[in-house]
Amino acid sequence: MSQRQKKKLVNEGVARLKAKPGWDPAAFKGKTPTEQLRDLHQAQRTLETAAEAETCDACTAARAATDDPTALCDAHLEAALGFR
Ligand SMILES: [Zn+2]
């Protein structure tokens, strides 16, 4: 993949993520396109995990047990952190 294609991919991804709440575009400043792309993949995965967790029974139980609306079950916590 060329630098130019990477940049295009990053810009498209950033535009998508900017439309979502809780996204901080300042976190991208001063990074190379390769670093941005890597971060973007992680951010995308975190967002996907959050969406999955919305309908996960174990996550719902974890939220109820801890009284923390952002709590995740072990599997989704690992996924959100990029371990899986
Ligand atoms: Zn879960």
Find the mean pLDDT for residues 40-48. 85
Residue 84, Cβ neighbours under 10 Å: how many? 11
Read off the pLDDT of each residue in 61-68 and give the average, rounded to a whole number.
Answer: 93
23 domain residue, yes or no: no
Evaluate whether residue 65 is within a structural domain: yes
Q: How far is the CA of 11 from the centre of ligand 1 (A)?
A: 30
Q: Is residue 7 part of a domain?
A: no
**81 found inside a domain:** yes
Residue 35 alpha carbon to ligand 1 centre in Å = 28
Residue 59 confidence (pLDDT): 95
Distance from C-alpha of 4 to C-alpha of 1, rounded to nearest angstrom: 8
CA of 49 from ligand 1 middle (Å) equals 8
> Residue 76: inside a domain, yes or no?
yes
68 lies in a domain? yes
Cα of 66 vs centre of ligand 1, distance in Å, is 14
In a domain, 36, yes or no: no
Tell how far the Cα of 71 is from the centroid of ligand 1, in angstroms.
Answer: 9
Other C-beta atoms closer than 10 Å to the C-beta of 27 total: 11
Tally the domains of the chain: 1
Domain span at residue 74 reads 56-84
Read off the pTM.
0.50
Model confidence over 6-34: pLDDT tens digits?
Answer: 777 777 777 777 776 666 667 667 788 88
**pLDDT at position 55:** 93
